[in-house]
Amino acid sequence: MKDMSMEDNRNLDLLASWIRESKYTVVLTGAGMSTESGIPDFRSKDGWWKNIDPTTVASTYALEKQYDLFRDFYIMRINTLKYCKPHFGHKILADWEKRGLVHCIATQNVDGFHQEAGSKNVYELHGNIRTVRCEDCSDDGKLEDFIMKKNCSSCGGRLRPNVVLFGESLPYDDLNSTMEAIRKADLVIVIGTSLQVYPVNQLPDLCKGKKAYINLDIDFHSKYFDLALKGKAGDTLLNIEKHLTKY
Ligand code: APR
């Protein structure tokens, strides 16, 4: 863990006081929340999109026109999950929910780690890759059938994960609930996202309260936040927890 400067400690103290005073806090996470669990993010130097064009594997075009490539990509991502687990940062957020310090988490992540770590109020804005459905008849499919490259057992159609592909709209209920929560929030804490993807990158601005950003790279977005902490999600959440419990 890196040495803490005076400014770091001041910022951690400030965010801890905002969390204590807030009556309604929303956390918004991205792929940077899961890299410490061993899952690559998308746009960092060793992220998924460094060597893969997302439109060729994670879009409605890929699903329609190159299903084998689409399926191989998601089978690989599903299999990656088998060896990865939520880290202590996920567990801290779940504990903050239990203690009434966080109202809900809206995540762009599809790994289910917030729920696995114990968070109950989670909105999956980009769906998940833990369940599948048939693209042709919409019946729920079996994840094992998808991994084994079998077709839909009801109609013989193409199985696909319940992930939001480029070109698809976000799940209405999750997005609506997230927007309502952020509009009510005294505090929104954005963790581990480049905020490059619409419409999630518009959500923090709905907050009339305070906005904090925790990210390895804060240069581009820090001016849009009341507080920006440069650092790893897990370490920073652990340090905030220490400041929350030191009084
Ligand atoms: N701690 C904090 N920040 C981190 C960490 C970490 N351990 N690891 C990476 N980051 C930061 C990176 O610096 C980057 O700014 O997290 C951010 C991850 O950004 P992206 O890779 O763009 O991921 P995300 O913002 O979640 O992407 C949004 O794009 O491709 C689509 O559907 C996909 O949900 C995804 C969406």
Ligand 1 atom closest to Cα of 29? Answer: 26
What is the three-class DSSP state of 169?
coil
pLDDT digits (tens, 9 = 90+) for 125-134: 999 999 999 9
pLDDT tens, position by position, 102-154:
999 999 999 999 999 999 999 999 999 999 999 999 999 999 999 999 999 99
Helix (H) or strand (E) run with residue 60 in it: helix 60-65
27 within 8 A of 20, measured Cβ to Cβ: no
Q: What is the pLDDT of residue 82?
A: 93
Probe target for ligand 1 pocket from 2, 28, 39, 43, with the most ligand atoms within 8 Å of CB = 43
> How much is the pLDDT for 7?
85
Total domains in the fold of the chain: 2
Catalytic residue (one of 90, 103, 114, 126): 126
User: In terms of pTM, does the model score above 0.85?
Assistant: yes
Q: Is 87 in the pocket of ligand 1 (CB under 6 A)?
A: no
- For 54-80, what is the mean pLDDT? 97
Residues 132, 10, single domain; the answer is no
Q: Each residue of 151-167: pLDDT tens digit?
A: 999 999 999 999 999 99
The per-residue pLDDT for 1 is: 54
Nearest to 36 by CA among 117, 130, 119: 117
Whichever domain contains 146, its CATH number is 3.30.1600.10
221 is catalytic: no
Residues 213 and 114 in one domain: yes
Domain of 60?
40-83+128-163
| 132 shares a domain with 93 | no
